[in-house]
């Protein structure tokens, strides 16, 4: 590591490791030219200097509004110039412009995603700059539109296709990072137009809430994130046992394919399957750390039980 990493960069690297993406070397970054996505590009260039990165920019086409069209053309130019100035062979710029007037947020969103997915190969990961504020707004919008649990839980850090590393980072923190690193971005003038439901929610409803109750939107965000976390925990999670075992042993290969949070969740369920219900989060973390080794055979004792691990199985005696 040639440069010291910031706290935000360390946080993103931990997520890459948690979701087993640190070894990935092909990424498609969705870069609009705005604050969030320009920070995303900067962070990836620092954390993954050897990766093959495609910077993908989608131009929403002509809107018929002079100010908006000037912004869209400027955003395209800023992103393209940034990539060209890097002069890196492994970082390429791709863009597409809509040939029709996209008249709604939904049409714009669908067109962007259609373009991003058209670029993706089986080995590439799509990364977007959605942050904590976006997450709150998206959950509220889904609830307003009558979404059920599946809709609310669909906005995840990693869903096996899309990586959203900023999902637990606020826009305030991204702004500070951009200012500290002198990052240039372009502000979308449509963000102030309240006829877009998301903009009304952000600029009117949430700000009115904060005026009536200090830190109201922050408290709301924390509560919703806690609810989402609890809903995730309550979803059915099926353990995968080693097929040839007679002692209800976990498949080690399956366990190692899980994210850190799902490993902890699987260990909790595994203990309950063995009629062990009294344990702490600290003990689960200690078990996970003991298992997080490349050794073929591991043996240790925690919770007054002997753990015996070989290349294929995780057994409890």
Task: Show Cβ contacts of residue 98 under 8 Å, excluding neighbours closer than 6 positions.
Answer: 58, 59, 60, 61, 111
> Which pLDDT does position 153 carry in this prediction?
74
What are the structure tokens assigned to 314, written together?
A: 């995780």
CA–CA separation, 305 and 273 (whole Å): 14
Task: Sort strands 250-251 and 313-316 into parallel, antiparallel or unpaired.
Answer: antiparallel
Measured CA distances, 79 to 14, 31, 42, 85, 183 (Å): 27, 7, 12, 10, 12
pLDDT at 1: 42
- What residue ranges do the domains of the chain occupy? 7-190, 250-316
Q: In the sheet that 26-30 helps form, which strands lie side by side, from edge to edge?
A: 91-97, 52-59, 26-30, 125-127, 162-163
| Helix, strand, coil fractions of the chain, as percent rounded to 5 | 50, 15, 35
Q: What's the Cα-to-Cα distance from 193 to each of 31, 106, 146, rounded to whole Å?
A: 22, 16, 24
Residue 167 is inside which H or E element, if any?
Answer: none
Query: How do the pLDDT tens digits run along the chain, 317 residues long?
Result: 447 899 999 999 999 999 999 999 999 999 999 999 999 999 999 999 999 999 999 999 998 889 999 999 999 999 999 999 999 989 999 999 999 988 888 899 999 999 999 999 989 999 999 999 888 888 898 888 887 776 677 778 998 899 999 998 999 999 999 999 999 999 998 876 666 788 889 889 999 999 999 988 888 888 888 888 777 766 656 788 888 666 789 999 899 888 888 888 889 889 988 888 888 888 999 999 999 888 889 999 999 899 999 989 999 98
pTM for the model: 0.72
Architecture (CATH level 2) of domain 7-190: 3-Layer(aba) Sandwich (3.40)
């Amino acid at each position: 590591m040639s440069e010291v990493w910031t706290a935000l960069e360390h946080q993103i690297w931990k997520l890459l490791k948690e979701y087993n993406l640190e070894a990935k070397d092909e990424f498609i970054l969705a870069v609009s030219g705005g604050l969030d996505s320009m920070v995303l590009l900067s962070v990836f260039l620092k954390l993954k200097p050897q990766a093959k990165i495609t910077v993908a920019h989608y131009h929403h086409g002509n809107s018929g509004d002079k100010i908006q069209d000037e912004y869209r053309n400027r955003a395209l130019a800023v992103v393209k110039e940034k990539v060209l100035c890097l002069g890196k062979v492994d970082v390429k710029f791709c863009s597409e412009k809509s040939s029709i007037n996209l008249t709604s947020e939904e049409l714009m969103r669908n067109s962007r995603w259609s373009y991003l997915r058209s670029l993706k190969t089986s080995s590439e990961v799509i990364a977007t700059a959605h942050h904590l504020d976006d997450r709150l707004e998206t959950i509220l919008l889904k609830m307003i539109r009558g979404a059920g649990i599946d809709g609310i839980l669909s906005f995840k850090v990693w869903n096996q296709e899309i990586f959203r590393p900023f999902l637990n980072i606020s826009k305030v923190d991204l702004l500070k990072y951009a200012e500290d690193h002198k990052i240039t971005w372009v502000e979308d003038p449509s963000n102030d137009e309240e006829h877009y439901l998301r903009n009304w929610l952000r600029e009117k409803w949430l700000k009115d809430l904060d005026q009536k109750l200090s830190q109201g939107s922050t408290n709301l965000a924390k509560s919703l994130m806690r609810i989402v976390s609890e809903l995730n925990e309550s979803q059915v999670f099926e353990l995968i046992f080693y097929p040839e075992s007679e002692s209800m042993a976990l498949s080690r290969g399956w366990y190692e394919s899980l994210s850190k949070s799902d490993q902890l969740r699987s260990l909790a369920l595994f203990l309950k399957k063995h009629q062990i219900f009294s344990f702490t989060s600290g003990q689960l973390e200690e078990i996970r750390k003991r298992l997080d080794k490349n050794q073929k055979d591991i043996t240790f004792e925690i919770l007054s039980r002997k753990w015996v691990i070989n290349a294929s199985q995780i057994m409890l005696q």
